[in-house]
Amino acid sequence: MIKKSAAGYVLIVVVAAAFSGCGSYEGAKIRREHAEAFRESLDEKIYQVLSAGKKLGLRDCIEIALRNNLQVRSSEIGQRIAKLERQVSFSYFLPQVALDYQYTRFDPQPEIIFGSSSVAMQDARVREISWGIQQSIFDPSTWFLYWMYSRGEEIAELVTEYTRQMMVFRVTALYFNCLTLTESVEALESQISAAAALAKELSAFKAEGLVSGWQAEQAQVLLLARETELSRTKRALVEAKADLLSAMGLLPLAEICFGVEMPLQAPQAPVEELVFEALVSNRQMQISDREVAIEEEKVKTAISAFLPRLGGFASRTYTSDSYLKYGSFWATGVSGVLTVFDGFANINEYKAAKERRTQAYVNREQAALTLMVQVLKADLSVKDAQEQIVLSEKSLDAVSSRFCEVEHQWQEGLVDFSEMLSVLAEKDDAEMALMRADYRLQVSIATLQNVMGLTNTEIGEGTDEQ
């Protein structure tokens, strides 16, 4: 055997190395280094993606998000892991080959006692080399395990596609929110200009004694209200842009400009066809199908526990021990295992597997019913948004005509300032209502497409590998 002194030295070295490794971690330094590196990487992405003055449309935002979003990249990593796990499970069908080398030093040399003397039984130094092969001959559970991992790989692929679809939907909603807020800021700035001009005019009338002081003050209050609303809208726009940039995997503090795109068109099919299409195309329903298939394989695996497991093996050993007659030899055989009694564990596991399979069926049916309701609600939301746009357009036309008429009368002195302010406020509200209706329609269409599983993710298929 190895001397105790040498073994002690080895133990001391191993323990010292272990403790030195544990004591070298500096959490604060690592956090600072990661924060600096992460911000630098975000700045680099901003420089590459957002050139100065470039306006991004909906397609541009989606493409950037699918390429940079961390949730999408994480799901793609999970998909690759599931593929590797499936490949690992396939290895159970292949023979397992092992090579072993062993060197043994005996001190003192082993001896056996014969009467008053002793005789050596093996060399003081022995080297052995062996290699062996093991092959499963009959084990049905390996097949079922492989099929389960295959379904798991399919689920991971569907999860990746579902994640991409949800990201497209999220970016779409955030994009139209930013677009509406941007237009709201422009509209409010125009309204402030009009309110400021009106306040200035009333101040001049007040100086000439044509209007009272409270009337001029009311115009100043209207101007202040518009300025306050503008400040609130600008802050909301900064927040919305930060959410959109984060979804795109970019620095939330960066500046971004938008180009107007309204590409989504509402489907014209009846709701029954939309529901059927959703049941076929929705990724969550497709995942539920794979989950049912996995539970079915688990039932088969539970049944295979009652069957014997057979395997064969063969090994070849080479030794330097001169006391052995044969320096090399074969060892071959067949092994089999059959569980006779394990406290009814196999029986109860089989019953539990059947119940889990039934539960998977029930969960799939419940998911289908929930999806049908979601499609119905999304379709109704689209119809509501379409009708709201028609109403908003008609209302804006009517209010605009009235405003032109009242403005002409105001210039001729036929109406007082309060009526002028009232009509101006109605026109502003009508313009904002139409913009909100347009935004709501686009988001409603995106919601319907997302529920049906028809969200387009073909934009920006490539992702950065790191």
Is the pLDDT higher at 80 or at 25? 80
- How does residue 4 score in pLDDT terms, banded at 50, 70 and 90? very low
- What's the chain's average pLDDT? 84
- How does residue 113 score in pLDDT terms, banded at 50, 70 and 90? confident
State residue 322's pLDDT score: 87
Tokens describing residue 149? 């991992």
Tokens describing residue 74? 């994480």
**Does pLDDT of 216 surpass 50?**
yes
State residue 212's pLDDT score: 67
- How does residue 411 score in pLDDT terms, banded at 50, 70 and 90? confident
Least confident range of 30-44, 113-127, 279-293: 30-44
- How does residue 165 score in pLDDT terms, banded at 50, 70 and 90? very high
Which of 39-48, 109-118, 181-190, 305-314 ranks highest by mean pLDDT? Answer: 305-314
Q: What percent of the chain has pLDDT over 70?
A: 87
Least confident range of 6-15, 155-164, 255-264, 447-456: 6-15
Asked, as a colleague might, if the bond just before 108 is cis with ω within 30 of 0, I would say yes
- Domains along the chain with CATH numbers: 45-452 (1.20.1600.10)
Query: Which tens digits make up the pLDDT trace of 444-462?
Result: 999 999 999 988 887 644 4
Asked if 271 and 375 count as a contact pair (C-beta separation under 8 A), the reply is yes
Query: Which tens digits make up the pLDDT trace of 297-345?
Result: 999 999 998 989 999 999 999 999 888 888 898 999 999 988 888 888 8
State residue 345's pLDDT score: 87
State residue 460's pLDDT score: 46
State residue 334's pLDDT score: 93
Is the pLDDT higher at 243 or at 116? 243
Average pLDDT rounded to a whole number, residues 356-383: 95
- How does residue 15 score in pLDDT terms, banded at 50, 70 and 90? low
Query: Which tens digits make up the pLDDT trace of 52-65?
Result: 557 888 888 898 88
- How does residue 464 score in pLDDT terms, banded at 50, 70 and 90? very low
**Does pLDDT of 5 surpass 60?**
no
**Does pLDDT of 150 surpass 80?**
yes
State residue 3's pLDDT score: 45
Sign of the C-alpha dihedral computed for residues 283, 288, 294 and 296 taken in this order: negative
Q: Between the CA atoms of 366, 368, 373 and 374, what dihedral angle is there, to the nearest 10 degrees?
A: 110
State residue 13's pLDDT score: 65
Average pLDDT rounded to a whole number, residues 124-138: 92
Element at 183 (helix H, strand E): helix 140-207
**Does pLDDT of 45 surpass 70?**
no
State residue 67's pLDDT score: 87
Measured N-to-C along each axis, helices 345-411 and 417-452 cross at an angle, to the nearest 10 degrees, of: 150
State residue 249's pLDDT score: 86
Average pLDDT rounded to a whole number, residues 93-97: 90
